């Protein structure tokens, strides 16, 4: 595979430079020339889809407590930018639907079903359908149950399975579920693994690319793409600059 074919996916936006999972981070990624944005979806207490990574708001806002303990209004009142840098004060935890509106036609979203709330995967698929995004999303999760729900409820949506480790059982389950993309943790990926999975027809997408060394190893191993917090550096590497 030509290195230029490696997909650059901004992980929670350009999250090395702006507060993760906020419009500031997603806008910055687009400004860097990235079309693929990764984000995490959870549900508020009153059933709204919100974009935040952790199960609680403590790390990435000025609030505290579980995401599922807050209403949407309560989440919206939180500052999701100042923890990262004072210049981002006023950034909000976005709703998933606001991002579907904001980036329609400008991005491909890699949507991770992060929360464990019942119905989260179906509600996320409903929002995607309602906003006419079905052609430009890839659904992902570490939770096999959520992937099964997605395959049953919205079989047209492409799915990637986020994995800590890959073994034969996982490969066989992925095939049975009709999952075309496998997403191993970057530090478990070797050229041999990529070759094997690609020969078996899977798209191989890395996550957990913690530093530039690992990023270079991923490109050399022939992965189809990776999420990365510093997409500008991956773009430069692929361009050979």
Q: Which residues bind Ca ion (CB under 5 A)?
A: 40, 112
Residue whose C-alpha is closest to residue 188's, from 167, 211, 174, 172: 167
Q: Which is nearer to Ca ion, 154 or 162 (CB)?
A: 162
Integer-rounded Cα Rg, in Å, for the chain is 17
Asked whether position 42 contacts ligand G3P by CB under 6 A, the answer is: no
Number of residues lying near ligand G3P (CB under 6 A):
8
Q: Residue 53 or residue 92: which is nearer to Ca ion going by CB? A: 53
From the list Ca ion, ligand G3P, none, pick the one residue 166 interacts with, judged by a Cβ distance below 5 to 8 Å according to partner type.
none
Give the CA dihedral 47, 52, 58, 61, nearest 10 degrees.
-100
The listed partner (Ca ion, ligand G3P, none) that binds 20, CB under 5 to 8 Å by sort, is: none
Q: What number of residues does the chain have?
A: 241
Strands 203-206 and 137-141 come out as unpaired
Q: Of residues 11, 36, 48, 70, which has the active-site annotation?
A: 11
Provide the 10 A C-beta neighbour count for residue 50. Answer: 25
Q: Which of residues 121-140 bind ligand G3P (CB under 6 A)?
A: none
Q: Which of 36, 53, 70, 110 is catalytic?
A: 53
How many C-beta neighbours within 10 Å does residue 196 have? Answer: 14
Closest-approach residue to ligand G3P (CB): 207
Among 99, 127, 162, 189, binds ligand G3P (CB under 6 A): 162
Are the beta carbons of 225 and 198 closer than 8 angstroms? Answer: no
The contact set with ligand G3P (CB under 6 A) reads: 11, 38, 40, 53, 112, 162, 207, 227
Active site residues: 11, 53
């Amino acid at each position: 595979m030509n290195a230029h074919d490696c997909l650059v996916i901004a992980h929670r936006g350009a999250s090395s430079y702006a507060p993760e999972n906020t419009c500031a981070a997603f806008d910055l990624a687009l400004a860097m020339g990235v079309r693929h944005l990764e984000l995490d979806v959870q549900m508020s207490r009153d059933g709204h889809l919100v974009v935040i990574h952790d199960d609680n708001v403590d790390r990435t806002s000025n609030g505290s407590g579980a995401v599922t303990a807050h209403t949407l209004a309560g989440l919206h009142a939180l500052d999701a930018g100042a923890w990262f840098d004072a210049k981002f004060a006023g950034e909000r935890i976005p709703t998933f639907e606001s991002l579907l509106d904001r980036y329609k036609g400008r991005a491909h979203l890699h949507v991770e079903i992060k929360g464990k709330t019942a119905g989260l995967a179906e509600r996320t698929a409903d929002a995607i359908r309602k906003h006419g995004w079905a052609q430009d999303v890839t659904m992902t999760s570490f939770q096999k149950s959520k992937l099964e729900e997605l395959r049953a409820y919205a079989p047209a949506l492409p799915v990637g399975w986020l994995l800590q480790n890959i073994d034969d059982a996982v490969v066989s389950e992925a095939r049975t579920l009709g999952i075309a993309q496998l997403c191993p943790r970057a530090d478990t990926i070797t050229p041999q693994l990529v070759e094997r999975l690609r020969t078996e027809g899977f798209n191989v997408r890395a996550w957990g690319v913690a530093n530039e060394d690992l990023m270079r190893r991923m490109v050399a191993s022939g992965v189809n793409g990776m999420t990365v917090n510093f997409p500008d550096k991956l773009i430069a590497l692929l361009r050979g600059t």
